[in-house]
Every structure is written in structure tokens, then in C-alpha cells.
Amino acid sequence: NAGVTQTPKFRVLKTGQSMTLLCAQDMNHEYMYWYRQDPGMGLRLIHYSVGEGTTAKGEVPDGYNVSRLKKQNFLLGLESAAPSQTSVYFCASRPTGPKETQYFGPGTRLLVL
Amino acid sequence: TQLLEQSPQFLSIQEGENLTVYCNSSSVFSSLQWYRQEPGEGPVLLVTVVTGGEVKKLKRLTFQFGDARKDSSLHITAAQPGDTGLYLCAGVRYTGNQFYFGTGTSLTVIP
């Protein structure tokens, strides 16, 4: 099993450009999450999904959109990138139940110039 | 303002010393998790505590969940260089499916 994979690993964007980050999991998990990690702030939840076809907003959803068309994939989109979106983005998945382990991907480092 | 505050933010100690990391909130959580993250990787779960007052031990690491379910601590005995990393707490509230992460504690253990 590959676990949770993220594509791409690193990307540089210019302000105003758009891009999509892909998260894939092969563990048949219902829940998937997108976080951003900035120095001194831990991880902050952007959007999450509790199952195929569902999405919900997290703590910092502005400027991002998501889609969960297939159970194994969770896409994070930036329609018009801003320098404030420079960050490391992590995807995670977990089985049903709040006490279950979250499994994280290796992260995508995004730089917006 | 984040829901979970960790202290200290940075900690640099000599090998063999003991240390405690704190995770505090004014909110109540149904469960709380501790993760360790190494540079360039995603966080990896260390433990989940679910009962107020619960204490869990993982080799030299001791985790405690506060009686009121608002705080937690991580104590490391005789720290080793392999303990170096970013330690994150994360809580789940009774209402919802979100994990709220703490601000993180960066630990460096010097040989």
C-alpha cells in the first residue's frame, strides 16, 4: 500500500495563477482532510470530506476549493493564487470515528511569488 | 487565535534530560492526539487519549489528558537525539469531525 500520496511535491506559482493539488489514498478511508502548515501555527484545516461527494469548510477555507468525486481522491484548488497562500500543504485520511488515526501524506510545498 | 496552545514553542536540551510539553485550551475535547513530525514529512501519530485523567505510556514518553478534558501534557524521560522533531497536539470536539491542531513544539536533543 502506498498510503497517502500527494502531487506535486513542490510548485512555484505567480500571483493570480491557478493550480490543483491532488491527494490520493489507497486505504478505503471515508474521511479526508486538507491542512496548511505555517511556521509557529501548527496545522490549520482548510477543507475536509466525510465521504465521496461531500465537502465541508474548515478553519481557513477562503481562497480554496475542493472536490471529492472519487472516494480515494481529494483535490484542493487555488483559483487565483496569492502570496499569503505560500505554505506547506498536507493531506490526511482516516477511517470513520473521531478516535481513529489520521494518516498524512508527505506534503506539497507551494511558493507564490 | 488557535484553539490549542502549546508551550514551549522551542526547546533545546542535552541528551539524558527530562522535559514536558504542554497543550492547553479553554475548550473541551472528546479526545486528544499527539503527533511527531520530522522535517520534510507529514505528522505521525504517537498516541490518542480519550478519558479525562487518562495517562498513557509509550516507552520513555508519558501522555496525560487533563481531568476536565481541556489540556494535555507530554513528558519525555531521558531524552535522546532520536526524539528530535516537532511535537503537535490535536483535539477533536464533541460536535464535528474536525481536528484542531496545536501551535507545535520544536524539540532538539543535543548529543
Mutate to test the interface with B, among A21, A37, A43, A60 (most CBs of B within 10 A): A43
- Buried-exposed string B54-85: b where 16+ CB fall within 10 A, e elsewhere: bebeeeebbbbbbeebbbbbbbbeebeeebbb
Residue in A4, A44, A99 closest to B31 by CB: A99
Q: What is the pLDDT of residue A42?
A: 84
All three cell numbers of B58, joined, read: 509509550
All three cell numbers of A4, joined, read: 497517502
Average per-residue pLDDT in chain B? 93
Task: Mark out chain B residues that contact chain A at CB-CB < 8 A.
Answer: 2, 4, 6, 9, 30-31, 33, 40-45, 48, 50, 88, 90, 92, 97-104
Q: Which residue in B has a C-alpha nearest to residue A10's C-alpha? A: B40
Mutate to test the interface with B, among A31, A50, A99 (most CBs of B within 10 A): A99
Per-residue pLDDT, averaged over A59-66, amounts to: 95
Percent of chain A surpassing pLDDT 90: 87
* Average pLDDT, 10 consecutive residues per value, chain B (111 residues): 88 97 94 93 93 94 95 97 96 82 95 95
Per-residue pLDDT, averaged over A79-83, amounts to: 95
Query: Could you say which DSSP state residue B4 is in?
Result: B
Taking a C-beta distance cutoff of 8 angstroms, is the pair B13, B19 a contact?
A: yes
Q: What is the pLDDT of residue B92?
A: 87
Q: State whether residue B83 is helix, strand or coil.
A: helix
Residues 6+ apart with CB under 8 A from A88: A36, A37, A38, A107, A108, A109, A110
- Banded pLDDT at A72 (limits 50, 70, 90): very high
- Banded pLDDT at A99 (limits 50, 70, 90): low
- Banded pLDDT at A75 (limits 50, 70, 90): very high
Distance CA B79, CA A113 (A): 40
Average per-residue pLDDT in chain A? 93
What residues in B contact A39, CB-CB < 8 Å? none
Quick check: B98 and A58 CB within 8 A? yes
- Banded pLDDT at A6 (limits 50, 70, 90): very high
Handedness of CA B38, B105, B102, A65 (dihedral sign): negative
- Banded pLDDT at A87 (limits 50, 70, 90): very high
